[in-house]
Every structure is written in structure tokens, then in C-alpha cells.
């Protein structure tokens, strides 16, 4: 295929992250002199403009990839000193999701009381720039700097509610664990550079071509992945997630759960497909992600169901879904990647809407504790319907896009890993959806027994101490908070019903898994098209499994709400679960030293696992 | 986890990670080997753009995109620190600052003597970043610290007078914006984002290396202002802000 003939399209990728950087600078320089509406307007317009640039770039990259050489350092005879931006449909799609979520988050925060002289808005725009650059760059070290930009502003955004000491604690855990992951990634990049003298993904792939799978490659792969997988919240790197998302402002949580963790998954598989696919045997890598994905999914789902703090519940549900993303992308083929990407997109809509609902609940009732809020929302109008609906959609209810992604992914993992992976998909979706439905029914319908005073010294974290984010509690939900919720849910619905979505995602996934084509196109060689495969979309078995997990979610929720009315045999059967749950809960201690120890355990186990498969 | 349990877990895992690193290092090219493909290309590219300091050419010309993001990280970190250090509801800012204790005359003298010297060295390091080791980042840090010699001489008030914070707040943001805007100017003038659009000049002269010195100055302004703002926020938090007694 000939390189893209339209030179204007090559300027879109750098603009997508430079525009928010420049506006953030203006907000920082002028913020204290601008009225609040101007700050809101400028930031929101910028996010919309970035989304527009992403749409144009997506159209340009539709039939391949748009390559931009920063500084004009186009390769001569396949070598160069410069950095390439390589926009392929999956990467640009991720950037577009980030921009749309940022738009929703900024609209939601119009009513946010304290923006600290526009610092909140400037940091949000820098965060968007970091996420956008991370998915558009085609250079490993450049990925790392964008990753660090994402991290640096994310720590500050997490701790933004400075009145609350737990918010500083959450930000600190996040900062320590993520920075440590980033250092290990940098070590991995250093090892690869020392070996090859290259930093570009495509150039690295060329330099390593024909290399036997040796120890250096295993170590470098594991180290580079560590930073990305910490961001992705894979077990056992996930401990920071719930601590950070419990305390971060609602609009920030939306971005963390909706897209940031998925970008960790993106980085992992981008680096694998372009650089390591030809040199590390696929079965070992597949097996690695099947195992770690399943463990992540189960731990996340169990912890999610055991929460009463609404934001922690949603954070653990995100961890569970990251496990499912890893299972889907871990098949390493186009079908699994298509399912995973659809699942990420659908999840972004649903999970973000749920986080905004938790924000509405916090600002309306001054708490995010499910037990404490029992029946408090009885007189609410729209959310008593939207929240259980979002819970069902989280479990995979057709025709939401998340359900379609789940269906496609299930079929792909069944081919790659057997029936048990499908069972993990169904059970984990049902548990996370069930937890949301349980909370919704308790808060908005007063289902289940009214709360008694909880015994002192319980190990559960309640959500009664969270500070509201508006001045004074809201009497009614303002439109600026309601519209983003509805838009996000409708977007997730559209993904599942608009014709052609599955085909577009399949084409994007075929490009993403075609590492050889990426390398050739980046370095200016003609790239052979990958052999076309059929997109999957909704299938009968997929719809059936999604209906099953939705029904199970409802059953889980009702069983949890009416557990005192369950038959005695069922309750006796559930009794041995309690100590296991206590054990898993005790591991999530909130002690950052524990988190660091687990991080090292994770790196060592990943290394041992991969070495056993590759060497 | 108890303290000993955590320590044992960490040590066992760290031993595993160390083993991974050791086996990887054994596969690396030996120390001092002539295998340096990027160096060979980078030196040639730097000379082609009349940039005497090859490191400056790599950071501001060949891999300028990395530097754009890195200085944005600095901008974000300073803005983030400022947001986290803002006085909270329970805190109030004193308008008057307690004068520090007695400072040795020798310290004062050294401070006053070193202030102009440090400022000059800072400017020198920024301006010659494309010729000799140094550049915007290094020179900017020097400039930022120079101002704080006033604080070391015991005059927080004097420091307060010579650094109007809003000016440096804006200076930092505008330095960063200038870098990004130069990137876009590259698209307009040369058709390449962050392209080197100015005449390269004569190798080794002050006016050479095209845009590299301009980038250096933008970064120098940003880093100097950033360091001043960052230190000011910490000093304010330590000296001015008082926590109101909880009733």
C-alpha cells in the first residue's frame, strides 16, 4: 500500500496533544484573572476540539496508518534519529474515547466548587494531552514520557480534595506504586536501547528481527510491561486503584476508570505486537495473559461485590473488567482484539456514567455509602431507573456495546483458552453488574433490610466520610450533571446497535495485531495487507450468554439484599467463603509498603512465567 | 501484613527481579564496545544542523518531541504541587512573615557576592546550550536557585520583593506555551511539527543550530520560573500558612 498521500493529515496527530498543552498554559497564565465561566468554556471547547481532531485523524487512518515524523526526520534507508507518531485506527479510537470522556468530565465539573484558580482545568487538559500522545506515538521512549505526563498530573488530580487526609494518602499510594512501575519500564527501555541502539517501536522490531528468544528479551519485555500493567491495574499491581479512585474528584475517577487503565492494556499489547511478537513465542505470552487476566478478573469481582463504599465498588469492578480486557487481548489474534476493543469502548461509556452517578449521589446526599443511604433516593426521578439499567449493561445486557464486546471476546477466548475462560467472563460480569444493581436498589428503592448501626471495629471501609464536591448539597440534579450521564449511556448503546461498528472494530483490530505492517509502513516500505478475517458482532450464543450474565447479575443483587430469606442450605454453602473473603480483603491493607512488595512479586512471577514459556 | 512478613516477601521477590536483571545484563554488549548505532547517526545529524553540542541537538532537534513532553511534565508537576499546597479551608495565610533569626555576616556576604555570579552563569548556560554542555533545563535551575540565595542570607522579605509570583507563574506557562507554539510554527514554515525552521548558521558560532537556542531560551524561562514558583509554594506553606486551631 502506498503511504498516505494527504500531507495535511500528518499534521493532525501532533496537534491533538499540542492544542490542549497550549490552552493549559494559557489557563495557568491567565486563570486567576478569568471569570469561572470563561475557564469552563475554554477547557470544554478545547476537549471538544481535540475530539474533532481525533475524528479527522480517524477518518484519515481508516484505511491504514498515518505516520508523522516529528522534526521532519523521515527515515533514509530505514534509519533515522527522529520520533515517529503512528496513528492507526485502534490508537486514534482510544484517543477519541479519552477526548469524549474528558468533555463529559469537564461539563460535569461546571458545578464543581473549587477549581483552584483554573488549576483543575489546566491539569485535566494536560492529562488529556498525555493520554492522547501515549496512544499516538510510535516510539518506546516517547511512550514513556507521555506516560509520565499522565502520571504526574494524575497524582495531583487524585489528591485535589486537600481537606480530606485520605485523599493525600490515596494520591501518595498511587504516586509511589506508579512511579516505581515507571522506573522499571525505564530500566527495560534502557536494556533494549543498550542492546539495539534504537528507541522507535518499528526500529526496535527491525533490530531484533531473527533474534532467538533469550533472557535479555524476557527481562526487557517484563520490565517495560510493568509500568503499563501498573497503570492497567492488573493483579498484583492493582492495589493503588481503589485507594486512588475512592478519593479522587468524580470527574477524575471517570477518566481513570473509563480510559486510563485501558491505556495500560493498550501499551502492553502495542509493544507486544510490534516489537516482541516475532521474537517471543506466542503460546507463553497467551498463557501468561490468560492466567493473570483470570486472576485479576476474579479478585476484582470478589472485592467489588464485598464493598459498600460506592466509588471503591466501582474501582474494583474496573479491576475485574481489566482482567477481562487482558483475557480478550491476550488471545493475541484479531478476533480477541476486536472483542477487547469493543469491550473497552462499551465499558468506557457505562463505567463513566456510573462514576458520574456516584458523584451525583455524593453531591445530593453527602455520602457514597450504600448501607447508610438505604432508601434515601426514593423520591429521585431518573436515576432510580438509569442506575440499575447501567448495572445490567455492565453485566452485558444486549444491545449495549459492552455486551457485544463481551460476546465477541467470549467467542475468541473460547477458541484460545477453552470453556473456563467463558465462565470467568459470565461470572465476573454478573458479579460486578450485580454489585451495582444491589447498590442501586438499596439506595433508590430501599430494598432489603434497613441498616442497623454497624458494630465497631469492622474492617469494611464505609463511604460516609466523603466530602461533597459542590458548595452545599444539591436539592436537585442540575442538567450539566445529568446530560453527560445520559450521553455516555446512549453512546454505549449506540456502539451495540449502529450497523458497521463491529466491522470497523474488526478492521482496527486487524491493523493493531499486524506488527509487520506497522513496521513497514512506519519506515516507509510497502506493507502487505493482513489476510482478511470475518468480523463477528452479535451472535446467537453471544446474546444468550449476555442475557444469562444479566439475569445472574439481578439474581446476585437480590440474593445479597435478601440474604436473610435465602434457604438455610444455600447460606451454609456460602459460609466457607467468609474466611477467604477476609483474607483477600486483608491483603488490600492500604499500606504502601505492602503494595511495593506485591509489585516486586508481580515482576518476579511474570519473569519466571515468561522465562519458562520462552527459554 | 506484619513488618517482618512484608520484608521477607519483598526480599524474596526482589531476589527474583535481581536474577532477571543479571541474566539480561549478561546478554548486553560488553562495556566500552564500539557498537553505538544511535550515537553514530546522532553526531552526523547534529553536525548537519551546525549544532556543536550533540546532546543539545538530540534534545531540541532530533528528539524535540520528548523534550516538549518533558517540559510539560515539569509544568504539570508545578501546577499540581501548587494545587495541592493551596491553603485549605482550615488554614489561613499570614500577610506578615516573621523575620528569620540571626544570620552570620559571612553567610550574608557570600550570598550577596554569589547572587550576581550565579545569575550570570545561569544565563550563560542557557544561551550557550547549543554550543557547550548545558542548556535550558540546567541553566533554568541555576537561575531559579540564584534568586533563593536571598533567602539564605536571611531575607525572606527581600526574596518576596524580587520575585512577584504572578509574573513567574505566567512566565512558566508562557515558556512552555512558546515551546509548543514553536512546534506548530514548524508545521507552518517547514511542513514538519517541531521542525528546525531557522537558518543553521556557522558551526560553533553563537547564532547557529537554527531553532535549538530558541528552544533553550523558552525552556530556560519555563524552568527558572517553575523552580521559583515551586520553592515559593513550599516556603509559603512552611512560613506563612497557619492551621487554625480545631475547636
The pLDDT value recorded for residue A274 is: 97
Pick the residue of A6, A22, A25, A249 with the most B CBs within 10 A to test the interface with B by mutation.
A25
Pick the residue of B182, B193, B197, B230 with the most A CBs within 10 A to test the interface with A by mutation.
B193
For residue B13, what are the CA distances in angstroms to A97, A599, A600, B27?
A: 37, 9, 5, 22
Nearest to A105 by CA among A50, A55, A176: A50
Whether the pLDDT of residue A519 is over 70: the answer is yes
Closest residue to A18, CB basis, from B66, B183, B192? B183
| Cα–Cα distance measured from residue A349 to residue A395, given in angstroms and rounded to the nearest whole number | 13
Out of A207-211, A547-551, A571-575, B127-131, which region has the weakest mean confidence (pLDDT)? A571-575
Which tens digit of pLDDT belongs to each residue from A108-143?
998 876 666 789 999 999 999 999 999 999 999 999
| Complex ipTM value | 0.94
| Peptide bond between residue A263 and the one before it cis (omega within 30 degrees of 0) | no
Q: Indicate the helix (H) or strand (E) that contains A87.
A: strand A84-87
Closest-CA residue in chain A for B222? A25
What average pLDDT does chain A have?
91
Whether the pLDDT of residue A4 is over 50: the answer is no
Whether the pLDDT of residue A1 is over 70: the answer is no
Q: Which residues pair with A200 in a beta bridge?
A: A139
Contact A207, A162 (CB under 8 A): no
Using the Cβ of B167 and the Cβ atoms of chain A, whether some distance falls under 8 Å is answered with: no
Chain-chain contact of B66 with A145 (C-beta, under 8 angstroms): yes
Closest-CA residue in chain B for A153? B76
Contact A174, A158 (CB under 8 A): yes
Closest residue to A81, CB basis, from B14, B36, B42? B42
Contacts of B31 (CB under 8 A, 6+ apart): none
Q: Which residues pair with A68 in a beta bridge?
A: A85
Average pLDDT over residues A48-59: 97
Closest-CA residue in chain A for B10? A597
The pLDDT value recorded for residue A453 is: 58
More confident residue, A351 or B31: A351
Chain A: give the shortest CA distance to residue B114, in Å: 31
Whether the pLDDT of residue A188 is over 90: the answer is yes
Which tens digit of pLDDT belongs to each residue from A276-330?
999 998 999 999 999 999 999 999 999 999 999 999 999 999 999 999 999 999 9
Contact A86, A517 (CB under 8 A): no
Q: How confident is the model at residue A478 (pLDDT cuts 50, 70, 90)?
A: confident
Q: Other CB atoms closer than 10 Å to residue A281's CB: what's the count? A: 13
All residues of chain B having their beta carbon less than 8 Å from the beta carbon of residue A594 are: 1, 6
Q: Which of residues 8-47 of B touch A (CB under 8 A)?
A: 9-10, 12-17, 20-21, 23-29, 35-39, 41-42, 45
Chain A: give the shortest CA distance to residue B41, in Å: 7
Nearest to A261 by CA among A288, A290, A296, A286: A296
Average pLDDT over residues A173-189: 96
Q: Which of A37-41, A164-168, A261-265, A523-527 has the highest mean pLDDT?
A: A261-265
Report percent pLDDT > 70 for chain A: 97
Contact A285, A261 (CB under 8 A): no
Closest residue to B16, CB basis, from A139, A198, A607? A607
Q: Which residue has the cell 439499567?
A: A389
Cell digits of residue A278: 516475532
Which tens digit of pLDDT belongs to each residue from B195-240?
999 999 889 888 989 999 999 999 999 999 999 999 988 888 887 7
Cell digits of residue A323: 482482567
The pLDDT value recorded for residue A111 is: 80
Pick the residue of B20, B77, B190 with the most A CBs within 10 A to test the interface with A by mutation.
B20
Pick the residue of B56, B65, B175 with the most A CBs within 10 A to test the interface with A by mutation.
B65
Whether the pLDDT of residue A165 is over 90: the answer is no
**End-to-end Cα, chain A, rounded Å:** 36
Chain-chain contact of B80 with A142 (C-beta, under 8 angstroms): no
Size of interface A-B (CB pairs under 8 A): 232
Q: Indicate the helix (H) or strand (E) that contains A86.
A: strand A84-87
Chain-chain contact of B84 with A69 (C-beta, under 8 angstroms): no
Q: Which DSSP letter does residue B99 get?
A: P
Using the Cβ of B169 and the Cβ atoms of chain A, whether some distance falls under 8 Å is answered with: yes
Whether the pLDDT of residue A200 is over 90: the answer is yes
Which tens digit of pLDDT belongs to each residue from A403-457?
999 999 999 999 887 789 999 999 999 999 999 999 999 999 988 877 765 554 4
Cell digits of residue A89: 485506527
Q: Which of residues 180-219 of B touch A (CB under 8 A)?
A: 180-181, 183-184, 186-187, 190-196
Average pLDDT over residues A181-207: 95
3-state helix, strand, coil in chain A (%, to 5): 70, 0, 25
Regions of chain B with pLDDT less than 50? 246-247
Determine the 3-state secondary structure of B242 from DSSP.
strand
Amino acid at each position: 500500500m502506498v503511504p498516505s498521500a494527504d500531507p495535511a493529515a500528518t499534521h493532525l496527530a501532533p496537534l491533538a496533544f499540542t492544542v490542549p498543552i497550549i490552552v493549559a498554559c494559557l489557563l495557568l497564565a491567565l486563570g486567576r484573572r478569568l471569570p469561572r465561566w470563561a475557564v469552563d468554556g475554554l477547557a470544554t471547547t478545547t476537549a471538544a476540539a481535540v475530539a474533532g481532531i481525533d475524528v479527522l485523524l480517524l477518518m484519515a487512518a481508516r484505511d491504514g496508518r498515518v505516520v508523522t515524523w516529528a522534526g521532519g526526520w523521515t527515515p533514509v534507508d530505514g534509519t533515522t534519529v527522529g520520533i515517529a507518531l503512528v496513528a492507526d485506527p485502534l490508537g486514534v479510537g482510544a484517543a477519541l474515547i479519552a477526548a469524549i470522556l474528558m468533555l463529559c468530565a469537564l461539563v460535569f465539573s461546571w458545578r464543581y466548587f473549587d477549581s483552584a484558580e483554573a488549576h483543575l482545568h489546566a491539569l485535566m487538559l494536560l492529562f488529556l494531552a498525555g493520554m492522547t500522545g501515549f496512544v499516538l506515538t510510535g516510539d518506546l521512549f516517547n511512550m514513556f514520557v507521555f506516560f509520565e505526563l499522565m502520571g504526574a498530573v494524575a497524582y495531583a488530580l487524585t489528591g485535589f480534595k486537600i481537606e480530606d487526609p485520605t485523599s493525600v494518602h490515596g494520591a501518595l499510594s498511587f504516586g509511589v506504586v506508579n512511579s516505581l512501575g515507571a522506573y522499571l519500564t525505564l530500566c527495560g527501555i534502557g536494556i533494549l536501547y543498550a542492546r539495539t541502539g534504537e528507541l522507535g517501536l518499528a526500529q526496535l522490531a527491525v533490530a531484533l528481527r531473527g533474534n532467538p528468544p533469550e533472557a535479555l528479551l524476557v527481562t526487557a519485555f517484563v520490565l517495560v510491561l510493568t509500568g503499563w500493567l501498573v497503570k492497567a491495574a492488573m493483579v498484583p499491581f492493582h492495589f493503588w486503584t481503589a485507594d486512588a479512585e475512592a478519593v479522587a474528584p468524580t470527574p477524575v475517577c471517570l477518566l481513570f476508570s473509563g480510559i486510563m487503565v485501558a491505556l495500560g492494556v493498550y501499551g502492553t499489547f502495542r509493544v507486544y505486537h510490534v516489537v516482541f511478537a516475532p521474537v517471543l513465542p506466542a503460546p507463553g505470552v497467551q498463557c501468561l495473559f490468560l492466567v493473570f487476566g483470570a486472576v485479576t478478573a476474579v479478585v476484582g469481582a470478589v472485592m467489588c461485590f464485598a464493598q459498600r463504599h460506592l466509588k471503591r465498588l466501582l474501582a474494583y469492578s474496573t479491576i475485574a473488567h481489566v482482567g477481562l480486557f487482558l483475557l480478550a487481548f491476550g488471545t493475541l489474534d484479531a478476533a480477541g482484539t476486536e472483542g477487547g476493543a469493543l469491550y473497552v469502548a462499551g465499558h468506557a461509556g457505562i463505567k463513566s456514567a456510573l462514576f458520574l452517578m456516584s458523584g451525583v449521589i455524593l453531591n445530593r446526599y453527602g455520602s457514597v455509602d450504600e448501607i447508610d443511604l438505604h432508601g434515601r433516593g426514593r423520591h429521585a426521578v431518573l436515576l432510580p431507573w438509569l442506575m440499575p439499567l447501567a448495572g445490567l449493561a455492565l453485566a452485558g445486557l444486549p444491545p449495549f456495546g459492552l455486551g457485544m464486546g463481551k460476546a465477541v471476546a467470549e467467542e475468541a477466548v473460547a477458541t484460545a483458552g477453552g470453556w473456563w475462560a467463558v465462565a470467568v467472563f459470565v461470572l465476573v460480569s454478573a458479579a460486578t453488574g450485580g454489585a451495582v444493581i444491589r447498590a442501586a436498589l438499596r439506595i433508590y428503592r430501599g430494598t432489603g433490610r434497613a441498616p442497623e448501626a454497624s458494630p465497631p471495629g469492622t474492617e469494611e471501609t464505609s463511604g460516609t466520610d466523603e466530602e461533597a464536591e459542590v458548595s452545599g448539597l444539591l436539592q436537585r440534579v442540575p442538567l450539566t450533571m445529568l446530560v453527560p450521564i445520559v450521553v455516555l449511556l446512549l453512546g454505549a448503546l449506540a456502539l451495540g446497535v449502529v450497523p458497521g461498528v463491529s466491522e470497523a472494530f474488526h478492521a482496527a483490530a486487524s491493523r493493531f495485531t499486524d506488527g509487520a505492517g506497522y513496521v513497514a509502513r512506519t519506515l516507509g516500505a510497502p506493507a502487505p495487507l493482513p489476510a482478511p478475517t470475518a468480523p463477528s458482532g452479535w451472535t446467537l450464543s453471544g446474546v444468550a450468554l449476555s442475557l444469562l450474565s444479566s439475569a445472574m447479575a439481578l439474581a446476585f443483587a437480590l440474593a445479597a439484599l435478601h440474604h436473610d430469606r435465602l434457604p438455610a442450605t444455600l447460606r451454609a454453602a456460602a459460609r466457607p467463603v467468609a474466611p477467604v473473603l477476609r483474607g483477600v480483603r486483608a491483603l488490600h491493607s492500604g499500606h504502601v509498603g505492602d503494595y511495593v512488595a506485591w509489585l516486586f512479586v508481580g515482576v518476579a512471577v511474570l519473569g519466571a512465567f515468561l522465562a519458562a514459556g520462552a527459554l | 501484613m506484619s513488618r517482618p512478613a512484608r520484608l521477607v516477601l519483598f526480599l524474596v521477590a526482589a531476589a527474583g527481579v535481581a536474577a532477571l536483571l543479571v541474566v539480561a545484563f549478561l546478554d548486553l554488549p560488553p562495556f566500552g564496545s564500539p557498537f553505538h548505532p544511535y550515537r553514530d547517526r546522532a553526531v552526523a545529524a547534529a553536525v548537519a544542523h551546525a549544532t556543536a553540542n550533540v546532546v543539545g541537538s538530540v534534545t531540541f532537534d532530533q528528539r524535540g518531541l520528548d523534550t516538549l513532553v518533558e517540559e510539560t511534565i515539569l509544568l504539570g508537576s508545578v501546577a499540581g504541587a501548587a494545587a495541592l499546597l493551596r491553603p485549605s479551608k482550615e488554614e489561613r495565610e499570614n500577610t506578615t512573615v516573621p523575620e528569620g533569626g540571626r544570620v552570620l555576616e559571612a553567610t550574608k556576604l557570600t550570598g550577596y557576592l554569589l547572587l550576581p555570579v550565579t545569575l550570570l552563569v545561569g544565563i550563560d548556560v542557557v544561551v550557550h546550550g547549543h554550543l557547550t554542555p548545558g542548556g535550558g533545563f540546567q541553566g533554568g535551575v541555576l537561575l531559579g536557585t540564584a534568586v533563593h540565595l536571598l533567602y539564605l542570607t536571611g531575607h525572606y522579605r527581600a526574596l518576596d520583593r524580587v520575585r512577584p509570583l504572578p509574573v513567574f507563574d505566567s512566565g512558566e506557562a508562557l515558556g512552555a506555551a512558546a515551546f509548543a507554539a514553536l512546534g506548530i510554527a514548524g508545521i507552518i514554515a517547514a511542513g514538519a511539527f517541531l521542525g528546525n525552521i531557522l537558518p543553521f548558521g556557522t558551526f560553533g558560532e553563537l547564532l547557529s543550530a537554527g531553532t535549538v537556542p530558541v528552544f533553550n531560551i523558552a525552556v530556560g524561562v519555563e524552568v527558572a520560573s517553575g523552580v521559583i514558583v515551586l520553592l515559593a509554594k513550599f516556603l509559603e506553606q512552611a512560613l506563612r500558612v497557619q492551621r487554625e486551631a480545631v475547636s
